[in-house]
Structure 1
């Protein structure tokens, strides 16, 4: 195994508090915003290839929703020319072929009918919430439409989780329960809570966090299995026939340990902001999940970077390094450093960004390389194209704000504090 993060001495200056690092993050974020603007098509946003050119001009639902979110964040940050891109994606989701006017909800892409997936609809809700908080003209319209679909179709009362998918006409509910759609559902619920002020969305986020961030890891040595049947029986062989699937791979995904750890800290922040008592397990489980992510996922083959998946014996299953895994690891290390003050998390934050800058940032074609092998060579086993800037752009924004329930809410609160200071 490669060396752990280099030690950072007590009394350290956190990179995220240095003006030079913050300027670097802003510059990298601007580079990403510029690059992915090239994915705009009439019906939303489409897919770019590794050379930065369009692969297919068919608008994609998840990409378009994530573009609303990211360009809305950028508009909150005062970045010129980003609000029109957010508005274009909003119009596409509300009026274009991505929306199912017959049965309600949204399609995977603009080419026609598809199963209705909670994973996609969580991002549509996130898009609406972020756009509303950014003051985009149709943000609240999308928020309300997406929230209604989640309420009426996807939320399973009693289980307090999201139903993963249905047929296009809302028949044939999938006989499966999974962590990935509920992870992004948690993020969406936190953003909806910030945007609407409604406690029910925080209650839902807390329920999801309890099941996937506390109950399940507590039963599996601090690790997070993701695949279950409707009775919540573990499906250990799920995905064995397609271990490189991009949303439901076989085995365990250390990057999701880290991402869920970050969500637990965001739920804690949401509780405290609203004057509610935050359960103690939120911080404890965040630490345990993140430490397990690093112990089992970072450089287990002696090469830097966090691997995509491991098996049930903690052996590497898919060794490739995906861009989002590194981004979410950096995000959570940063939040844990701010929450605990522990220098070891600052060391991880620096180490991961060093890896991203040296290996993933594409200074020729733009954007980030979505996936590399253990030696840092471009690969496409899991991600053959580069889809959008959601994970990488957020990684440039999260260090600029305090630990917050949602990124848009954190930016909005930061702006309000500045206005109050100027008015004082």
Structure 2
């Protein structure tokens, strides 16, 4: 854990499988926030000052390096410790809110003001009241809002808002999370046979061709994403805990069942990354986060419905992950595998692409759900 600390500020984001650091000065807002989450959760699980000190080290960097007071925005990426992209991203602010909410839930009252400050930025610049979604991207000077609308940033905003509600007990955050879930998982999904498509035009019509030539795009891939169907399963059931309505469980089951039935690899195990509108696999890579979010969703469904089928899915996913994704030599999980489960790269983590938030978060969610049932 100590190796994660960068003495020049924040954390190292880029690691080879054995833990060696590469591109030390290459950093990403999302990873900075996710690693704060990791160390706060580690402190909650295991106690001790070392994890809390690391989380504070990350908080200091978020507040002093990523945040730019003059333009009132966060730096999206650093390259060799210098600002390389100052585009304002809803996806980034979602993780800023998630980090601060996690800090507050862990007892640090200083993060309360940060949560409301982040809410203010989202409300002032990104919230599109006429359509009921957040915009995705705005220029560094806040002057121009992109016409692109997507589900991914709104999905993570929904997650962050649920955590903000749990940290503050302020119904405002829960109400907005509810609106996002209803908009994406019901209204938008009903435009694509009940499944969640990734990309929309400004008027929320579906953009079926966005990134069709770039299906492996890191944040905006083409095709139905099984991992996002099951991630919404997780979020709907998290929302149901606080604001129970029957449609949440029903839609959660539908999304999970469709994703698993379509994307599970019967030959080699695991869930493929993407499939096209006809239900054919269009990206047969396997990503760590897809498997992790899916076993968390399976556990929550098993508890919510009492259907043992979902514990069977949970066991299938965990056995697959334990066999192929968990690195039993150096620890943590591999990031990406080929369709036959062979390795794609010797890089375990790259800025903005891993940092263990999905795996740690999924395990904690299952543990908490089992404790509370």
How far 1:142 sits from its partner (Å)? Answer: 2.8
SS of the residue aligned with 1:45?
coil
Tell me if 1:102 matches 2:70.
yes
Q: CA separation in 1, counterparts of 2:133 and 2:201?
A: 13
Aligned residue number for residue 200 of structure 2: 228
Aligned residue number for residue 52 of structure 2: 83
Aligned residue number for residue 360 of structure 2: 393
SS of the residue aligned with 2:222?
coil
Match of 2:140 among 168, 189, 198: 168
**Contact 1:258-1:332 within 8 A present in 2 as well:** yes
Q: CA separation in 2, counterparts of 1:347 and 1:382?
A: 31
Q: CA separation in 1, counterparts of 2:282 and 2:4?
A: 32
Aligned residue number for residue 260 of structure 2: 294
How far 1:108 sits from its partner (Å)? Answer: 1.4
How far 1:387 sits from its partner (Å)? Answer: 3.3
How far 1:38 sits from its partner (Å)? Answer: 2.5
Greater relative CO (CA pairs within 8 A, separation 6+): 1
**Contact 2:285-2:339 within 8 A present in 1 as well:** yes
**Contact 1:129-1:139 within 8 A present in 2 as well:** yes
SS of the residue aligned with 1:77?
helix
Structure 2 residue ranges without an equivalent (≥5): none
SS of the residue aligned with 2:340?
coil
How far 1:39 sits from its partner (Å)? Answer: 2.8
How far 1:155 sits from its partner (Å)? Answer: 1.8
Aligned residue number for residue 372 of structure 1: 337
Tell me if 1:48 matches 2:17.
no
The equivalences for 1:15-414 within 5 A come to 34=1, 37-41=2-6, 42-51=8-17, 52-58=19-25, 59-80=27-48, 81-96=50-65, 98-110=66-78, 111-112=82-83, 113-136=85-108, 138-271=110-243, 278-299=244-265, 302-380=267-345, 385=350, 387-402=354-369
SS of the residue aligned with 1:194?
helix
SS of the residue aligned with 1:402?
helix
Structure 1 residue ranges without an equivalent (≥5): 1-33, 272-277, 404-409, 415-424
SS of the residue aligned with 1:145?
helix
Q: CA separation in 2, counterparts of 1:328 and 1:171?
A: 36
**Contact 1:360-1:369 within 8 A present in 2 as well:** yes
SS of the residue aligned with 2:282?
strand
Q: CA separation in 2, counterparts of 1:357 and 1:77?
A: 21
Structure 1 residues 355 and 348: alpha-carbon distance in aligned structure 2, compared to 1, 3 A threshold: same
Structure 1 residues 298 and 381: alpha-carbon distance in aligned structure 2, compared to 1, 3 A threshold: farther
Aligned residue number for residue 406 of structure 1: none
For the aligned residue pairs, the C-alpha RMSD in angstroms reads 2.1
SS of the residue aligned with 1:317?
strand
How many residues in Structure 1 have an aligned counterpart in Structure 2? 363
- TM-score when normalising by structure 1: 0.81
